[in-house]
């Protein structure tokens, strides 16, 4: 067994990087082909990007003709480019998030190596990231959060590499990488894209200088310069937006959707300060046990060894977590940028645990595995069943239990190669077949494709005009995405005189009548049916 670990240690890091790139491409790529666009944030985002294409206006994000300035336009631009190349379809909608997730995995490997991880250590951390339920599910989605997570990780990697690099030319190159990450984060989701890496790196610099009793002012100056330069791209876009749409649009982007969301005056997704603690068991599944063990290990290393890597990883995880906790707006997907430091910490603990098992001999390790083998199984059941639900969730949880138990049994028998092969086979099954089954199950409840295909057919056969009745953002976006055009909107029924037939689409759980579709949507054909009546 010791020879096996020695062989793993002698494998060049570039080999691990190649294996990782192939593995990430397969695992992430499976979902790009199988997933669709779900009703909610995804239909809204896809609709805005689709409107950029068929309207030809790439400056102002619009939702069914109206300016929509909740986020800056970088993700919409990338998605619109995909729509222009591949057509407006589900595959092109998922490409930007998938590429961001792929880039995040490779960047994490580079950061792990910069932190002093061995090739196998960096590879293991990236595998933990890839198999994290939250990361993998968002890698195939149509939301801006994965691009933000990649931008934050890129900024942290670039500036940390700059801080630890001695060569002047390479330092400048890493500074450019960090600055590009900050700029991408700001153009993706506003100032939070700069705040998350800033608090992580700033907290690390301050605490390191305090512990070492030194003040390295050049590091602070370099990061401040990077932050200033990163504002240039978004500043250019804001200037063009101000010239086109005026002061109101500028204030909406800068104040309402940055300061307003943080303070709570904007009013979206408000939750108490302890909200994320209530959902702690759902975070970083199925590797939460390794993450908690890793935090304990890093704190111990920091106390006894003053290890710089331990300080950096704790700052990378805890300071952004505290910032997100302080924000009034909270959703679980907002924690996605924390998956990268969580994976590094969990990978550090996993390698430490393996080394301890080797030191105490396989006899003690076998006894330990008998106890621990049920922990990942139980955690996986909770995470996967909660994420997928129903029969697919049960099937995925059962497969994960079988994998965990069988792999532990094989490890006890020192059949390491067979155990690794079993895990990879099971992972491939979970990310391929189960993903397809899960989306097929979700599609009936979350996809609005059937609604708009039915309405398009009815509009053609009856000659009725398609109308959105007081639509929420998800419905307006879905109309743009599936119909590839803007759709007329009615705010109330008072303006309809009954002279011409209209096909009304609305979403309201308090409305009765009409034909019911996915996500509380209903369809009315007027004037043959009475207008909607509130319960």
Residue-wise pLDDT tens digits, 450-508: 999 999 999 998 889 999 998 999 999 999 999 999 999 998 877 787 788 889 999 88
pLDDT digit string, tens, across residues 41-71? 999 999 999 999 999 999 999 999 999 999 9
Taking the CB of residue 172, how many other CB atoms lie within 10 A of it? 13
What rounded mean pLDDT belongs to the chain? 83
> Mapping DSSP to helix (H, G, I), strand (E, B) and coil, where does residue 268 land?
coil
* DSSP-derived secondary structure letter, 523: E
**Alpha-carbon span 154 to 158, nearest angstrom:** 6
pLDDT digit string, tens, across residues 375-385? 444 444 444 44
Any alpha helices (H) in 115-216, and if so which ranges? 119-130, 133-138, 145-164, 168-189, 192-212
Asked whether the predicted pLDDT for residue 143 surpasses 80, the reply is: yes
Burial (Cβ within 10 Å: 0-12, 13-18, ≥19) of residue 280: exposed
The residue among 422, 420, 410 whose CA lies nearest residue 365 is 410
pLDDT for the residue 347 = 93
Asked whether the predicted pLDDT for residue 173 surpasses 90, the reply is: yes
Q: Which of 157-161, 217-221, 419-423 has the highest mean pLDDT?
A: 157-161
For 406, residues 6+ apart whose C-beta sits below 8 A from its C-beta are 419, 422
The distance in angstroms from the start CA to the end CA of the chain is 69
Taking the CB of residue 147, how many other CB atoms lie within 10 A of it? 26
Return contacts of 362-367, CB within 8 angstroms, 24+ apart.
362/1, 362/412, 362/414, 365/411, 365/412, 366/412
Mean local confidence (pLDDT), 301-320: 93
C-alpha angle 464-41-46 in degrees, rounded to nearest 5 = 60
**Alpha-carbon span 181 to 230, nearest angstrom:** 8
């Amino acid at each position: 067994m010791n020879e096996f670990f020695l062989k793993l240690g002698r494998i060049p890091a570039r080999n691990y990087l190649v294996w990782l790139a192939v593995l990430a491409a397969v695992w992430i790529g499976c979902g790009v082909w199988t997933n669709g666009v779900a009703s909610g944030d995804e239909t809204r985002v896809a609709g805005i990007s689709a409107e950029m294409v068929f309207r030809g206006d790439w400056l102002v994000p619009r939702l069914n003709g109206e300016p929509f300035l909740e986020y800056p336009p970088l993700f919409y631009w990338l998605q619109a480019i995909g729509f222009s190349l591949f057509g407006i379809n589900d595959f092109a909608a998922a490409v930007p998030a998938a590429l961001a997730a792929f880039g995040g995995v490779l960047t994490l490997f580079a950061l792990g190596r910069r932190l002093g991880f061995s090739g196998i250590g960096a590879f293991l951390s990236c595998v933990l990231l890839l198999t994290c339920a939250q990361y993998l599910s968002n890698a195939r989605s149509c939301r801006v959060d994965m691009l933000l997570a990649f931008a934050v990780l890129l900024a942290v990697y670039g500036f940390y590499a700059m801080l630890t690099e001695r060569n002047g030319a390479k330092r400048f190159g890493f500074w450019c990488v960090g600055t590009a990450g900050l700029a991408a984060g700001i153009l993706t989701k506003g100032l939070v894209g700069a705040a998350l890496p800033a608090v992580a790196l700033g907290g690390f610099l301050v605490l390191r200088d305090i512990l070492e009793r030194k003040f390295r002012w050049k590091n602070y100056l370099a990061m401040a310069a990077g932050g200033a330069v990163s504002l240039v791209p978004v500043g250019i876009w804001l200037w063009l937006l101000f010239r086109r749409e005026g002061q109101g649009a500028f204030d909406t982007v800068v104040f309402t959707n940055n300061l307003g969301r943080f303070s709570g005056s904007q009013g979206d997704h408000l939750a108490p300060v302890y909200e994320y603690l209530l959902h702690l068991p759902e975070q970083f599944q199925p590797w939460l046990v390794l993450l908690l063990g890793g935090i304990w290990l890093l704190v111990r290393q920091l106390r006894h060894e003053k290890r710089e890597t331990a300080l950096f990883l704790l700052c990378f995880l805890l300071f952004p977590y505290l910032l997100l906790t302080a924000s009034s707006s909270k959703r679980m997907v907002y924690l996605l940028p924390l998956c990268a430091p969580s994976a590094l910490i969990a990978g550090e603990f996993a390698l430490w645990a393996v080394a301890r098992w080797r030191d105490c001999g396989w006899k003690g390790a076998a006894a330990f595995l008998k106890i621990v083998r049920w922990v990942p199984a139980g955690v996986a059941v909770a995470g996967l069943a909660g994420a997928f639900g129903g029969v697919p969730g049960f099937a995925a949880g059962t497969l994960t239990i079988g994998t965990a138990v069988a792999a532990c049994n094989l490890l006890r028998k020192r059949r390491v190669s067979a155990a690794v092969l079993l895990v990879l086979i099971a992972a491939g099954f979970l990310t391929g077949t189960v993903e397809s089954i899960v989306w097929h199950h979700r599609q009936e409840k979350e996809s609005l494709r059937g609604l708009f295909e039915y309405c398009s057919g009815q509009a053609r056969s009856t000659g009725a005009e398609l109308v959105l009745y007081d639509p929420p953002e998800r419905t307006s976006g879905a109309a743009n995405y599936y119909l590839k055009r803007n759709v007329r909107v009615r705010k109330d029924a008072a303006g309809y005189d009954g002279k011409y037939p209209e096909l009304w689409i609305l979403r309201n759980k308090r409305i009765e009548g009409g034909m019911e579709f996915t996500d509380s949507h209903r369809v009315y054909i007027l004037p043959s049916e009475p207008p909607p009546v509130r319960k």
